[in-house]
Amino acid sequence: MDNSTLANATTDLCVDSEQTPYPSVIWVALAVLMLATFFGNLLVIVSIAYFRQLHTPTNFLVLSLAVSDMLLGVSVLPFVTFLSMTPCSIHQKFLCRVKSLFDSLLCFASILNLYCICIDRYYAICRPLSYHSKINSRVIAGMISMTWSAAVVLALVVAFGGKKNKARCAITQNMRLSFLAALCAFYVPAVVMSTLYTKILLVVRRQVRSIQVANSSESVSKAERKATLTLAKVICAFLLLWAPFSICSTYPFSLPLPVFETFKFFGWFNSALNPFIYAYSHSWYRSAFRLFLTGKIFTETCANTRLN
């Protein structure tokens, strides 16, 4: 193919794609979102890996959630920015498939990790006597493996089961495929998590009302309740931020492209928000983050430090 033919093909691609780059303010917003998602979740990952007090079944699930959120920040968001800046690239179709694959994989993994965390909290609060026998290291490893395996399968279906839309590198599927993906990754987890957390919060409320003389087992119960309430906020954020995109992608009505993309940004923002929820709601994470941000872990051994 000579230069003139290549130029004509590129021009045709630009005309057919009907794409315009994002305004500069959107690129700035994407950059801020990318950095917040990466560094916030990296802080969660290193805190859980470093401090032995955070080596609990629940926190290993939180670690898996943070990994999926962090990877979304370093892979999907840079892809989105690059594709917007180069809408006329001859490799646009291939790059769109790759972006869609990673986007779907990491979003599904993030959502399914939340689902597993909810199950863990249900056993910890509603069935405390059987919690340690039901939820152990082997079970947690199995839950994490199943989460990522299911995310890979769903991502492959979404990325390669649809066709490239002419509008800003969107991948569209038929209604059955879109509904199936949303059913597995949003609707079913949302219904199950809402039901379980409603029951969990009722149990927590009943426990608070019937607190007896403080002892070691009561101290553990308080820690479990605090972790549960923190993760309940994470679930609420997930439901609020992912609902608009999930609903609009599975029902046969059309929205202006900027509105649809804004709903997707809400979903991506959920990955950046989770670390701030941990830091705001749980003193253990605040203490761990403080030790890292002040550099104290580099001057002394803090792995066994008691986090307040």
Domain range annotation of the chain? 3-298
- Summarize the chain as % helix, strand, coil (round to 5): 80, 0, 20
Considering the segment(s) 3-298 as one domain, its CATH architecture is Up-down Bundle (1.20)
On average, the pLDDT of the chain sits at: 78
> What pLDDT, in 10s, does the model give residues 1-42?
444 443 444 444 444 444 555 667 777 888 888 899 999 999
End-to-end CA distance of the chain: 66
- Angstrom distance (rounded) from CA 46 to CA 289: 9
Whether the predicted pLDDT of 102 surpasses 90: no
The segment with the largest mean pLDDT, out of 155-164, 179-188, 191-200, 276-285, is 191-200
- Backbone torsions φ then ψ of 256, nearest 5 degrees: -55, 140
Which residue type sits at 232?
Answer: A
Q: pLDDT tens for residues 104-116? A: 899 889 888 988 9
Strands 171-172 and 163-164 turn out to be antiparallel
